[in-house]
Structure 1
């Protein structure tokens, strides 16, 4: 039992090994298209990155959007496109993942391919991606 508890703790603990200190792995869940929520998600990312940098640590953050939250990555329609472009250049270890299921359904409804911002990478399923990240020891944040 003690070994199982220690193994569970180690799986959830931040990863050591970068020269700066500890690497904190964080998955940010976005499924709401409200601009306030989108800005809050990006504020969370910036605040975490700033805090951990001040501690000598680094972060790996993956923002995963699906459903109505996919508006976050829509080319020409995202209310946070400027922030995403800037943050992707400023923050190492920041990834933006777009749900392929949602994108396919949006494209079918529109009758044409819906374009995403260059910063977004399509994953097969946003929900599955969040599960995978948590299985890899990522902390889960939902603004």
Structure 2
């Protein structure tokens, strides 16, 4: 073996080790979370249960794969009843979601709330933990433009 060949191999090993060290030091970019918006606009308990089933199934699926998923349920028109303290047919289950599934959020349409307030003489109370957006459909448009998947069961 020639003296030059040994030093070239040593140089190659050093360069390779340096490259591997640098490659490993680069922060690994985690994948963006999956994003799902579920629309509920009908006052139908079966559809409300379906929305919750879908949210639970999708959350469980991606959790099982070790991936993150953000889920938002946006309610307007008749679907707003799902989020109302005094009349939600899925109140207990929804409250359990709010306690145990931080990746699932619920949003009420402010316009629908205002319409109910005029019609009923008072603004109906929301289940604690539900947030409000002024226009439910506009919120769906905004998140669709940010590449969320929208599903209407």
Partner of 1:47 in structure 2?
A: 57
Runs of 4 or more, structure 1, over 3 Å off, are none
Q: Which structure 2 residue ranges, 5 or more long, are not aligned?
A: 1-27
Partner of 2:123 in structure 1?
A: 113
Residue of structure 1 aligned with 2:86, choices 76, 82, 86:
76
- Mark the structure with the bigger radius of gyration: 2
Distance in 2 (alpha carbons) for counterparts of 1:123 and 1:138: 17
- Given that 2:86 and 2:124 are in contact with CA atoms closer than 8 Å, whether structure 1 keeps it comes out as no
Q: Which structure 1 residue ranges, 5 or more long, are not aligned?
A: 1-15
What is the TM-score with the length of structure 1 in the denominator? Answer: 0.84
Distance in 2 (alpha carbons) for counterparts of 1:34 and 1:64: 15
Q: Which structure ranks higher in relative contact order (CA pairs < 8 Å, sequence separation ≥ 6)?
A: 1
RMSD: 1.5
Higher relative helix content: 2
In the alignment of these two chains, the number of paired residues is: 126
What is the TM-score with the length of structure 2 in the denominator? Answer: 0.78
Q: Alignment partner of 1:44: what SS?
A: helix
